[in-house]
Structure 1
Amino acid sequence: MTSRLTVLAGPTAVGKGTVAAYIREHHPEVWLSVSATTRPARPGEVDGRHYHFVSGEDFADMVSKGEMLEWAVVHGRASYGTPRGPVEQALADGRLPLLEIDLQGARQVRAAMPEARFVFLAPPSWDDLVSRLVGRGTETEEERAVRLETAKVEMAAQGEFDAVVVNDEVRRAAEELVSLMRSPELDDKD
């Protein structure tokens, strides 16, 4: 079986990081890309594991050198991106690579690597998404409002993806995603 990149995207606070953390812990055969970002680390985040935390200058340098597979300014504030080299190496090594990124990044990856699999992680409902965002308590009220406006746009993009996984329970959603990653038929849907 040929190695194929899987891209996981979805709205803010849907649990992309939580699903990816479950996969990291329970599926060592899956290689998870570590994104670079200019935002500060949140409590408990570890540089090099959750993100590569870099300065705006270093990030811009990586972009100008073509070292990013995708990148974007998210929520009008911080830059996020996927370093290209590690993804290409994982594919060359025949691993099961997974990118956990935002909608803008997924669109850039689709343009650069249309053969990748694109999976949308959806909340069980809009109210559930709002509750998750408020409940995590990592953003100010103003930041939450910006993220919820962004989430409305992100939710409307589900049709751009090859598959949708509902994150109603982390273990179930993660196992469904890994199953999709192993499936050669995913892109045969029309």
Structure 2
Amino acid sequence: MPVLPIQSSTTTEECLHLGRLIVLTGPSGVGKGTLMRSLLQRHPELYFSVSATTRSPRSGEIDGKNYYFVSLSKFEQLVAEREFLEWAEFAGNYYGTPREAVLNQIQSGKLVVLEIELEGARQIRASFPSALSIFILPPSFDELEKRIRSRAQDSEEAIARRLLRAQEEIQAADEFDIQIVNDDFETALNDIETVLFK
């Protein structure tokens, strides 16, 4: 993962007048990753920021495309060097957004999209007040639980942790500029496009 120190003369707010930072978040299992993939297929002009994580790759995931998969010690080093725009712990693993690549893309006038967890989204709102934040909601909590279980990727203990975390995250939805319910996939995708390109 190429990480370079940002020039001290460049503030985050100075970058934002050229491009725009978009934050997409929502509880685990809500479908934000699938929405993001479809959005990027339809709009290749968007820049998707690849996060770093300490978790192991899932089947089919590619280092540098889905995530930068790094060791805990490497992640801690990057945190110490302030190389992340935001970082957070989720379900026992750490996730972070590389700072330099995002700021470079915003400076070049791009719409930069982050798909991150609630804690990271709050950090972004503190450092980028003019970022546009979108929260993806499930049609119901029961439907969210069904989606998480249908993945068949987690232990019962991990599912319980994700569901508890999801309840807390859903309560924070009104902190975001836009809330979109992912009930019908195409409708949710069209709603995101309307927000970004209206």
TM range (shorter): over 0.9
What residue identity is the alignment partner of 1:47? D
What residue identity is the alignment partner of 2:186? R
Partner SS state of residue 186, structure 2 = helix
Cα drift, residue 2 of structure 1: 4.3
Contact 2:23 2:114 in 1 (8 A): yes
Of the three residues 48, 53, 71, the one matched with 2:87 is 71
Distance (Å, rounded) in 2 between the aligned partners of 1:122 and 1:10: 6
Contact 2:133 2:178 in 1 (8 A): yes
Question: How big is each residue's C-alpha offset from its partner over 1:116-159, in whole Å with a ceiling of 9 and x where there is no partner?
Answer: 01100011111110000000111111100000000000000011
Identity value in percent: 44
Distance (Å, rounded) in 1 between the aligned partners of 2:45 and 2:194: 12
Cα drift, residue 175 of structure 1: 2.6
Question: Partner residue of 1:130?
Answer: 145
Partner SS state of residue 5, structure 1 = strand
TM-score by length of 1: 0.92
Question: Partner residue of 1:182?
Answer: 197
Cα drift, residue 182 of structure 1: 2.7
What residue identity is the alignment partner of 1:181? L
Of the three residues 108, 118, 121, the one matched with 2:133 is 118
Structure 1 residues 35-54: aligned runs within 5 Å: 35-54=51-70
Question: Partner residue of 1:56?
Answer: 72
Cα drift, residue 62 of structure 1: 0.8
Question: How big is each residue's C-alpha offset from its partner over 1:134-189, in whole Å with a ceiling of 9 and x where there is no partner?
Answer: 00111111100000000000000011000001112333322321321234xxxxxx
Distance (Å, rounded) in 2 between the aligned partners of 1:64 and 1:175: 40
Aligned residues: 182
Question: Partner residue of 1:188?
Answer: none
Partner SS state of residue 98, structure 1 = strand
Please list every run of 5 or more consecutive structure 1 residues that lacks an aligned counterpart in the other structure. Answer: 184-190
What residue identity is the alignment partner of 1:14? V
Question: Partner residue of 1:161?
Answer: 176
What residue identity is the alignment partner of 1:22? S
Cα drift, residue 30 of structure 1: 1.1
Question: Partner residue of 2:3?
Answer: none
Contact 2:20 2:131 in 1 (8 A): yes
Question: Partner residue of 1:12?
Answer: 28
Structure 1 residues 99-114: aligned runs within 5 Å: 99-114=114-129
What residue identity is the alignment partner of 1:142? E
What residue identity is the alignment partner of 2:152? G
Partner SS state of residue 96, structure 2 = strand
Question: Partner residue of 2:48?
Answer: 32
Cα drift, residue 91 of structure 1: 0.3
Rate the CA distance shift 1:87–1:18 in 2: closer, same or farther, 3 A. Answer: same
The Cα RMSD (Å) is 1.2
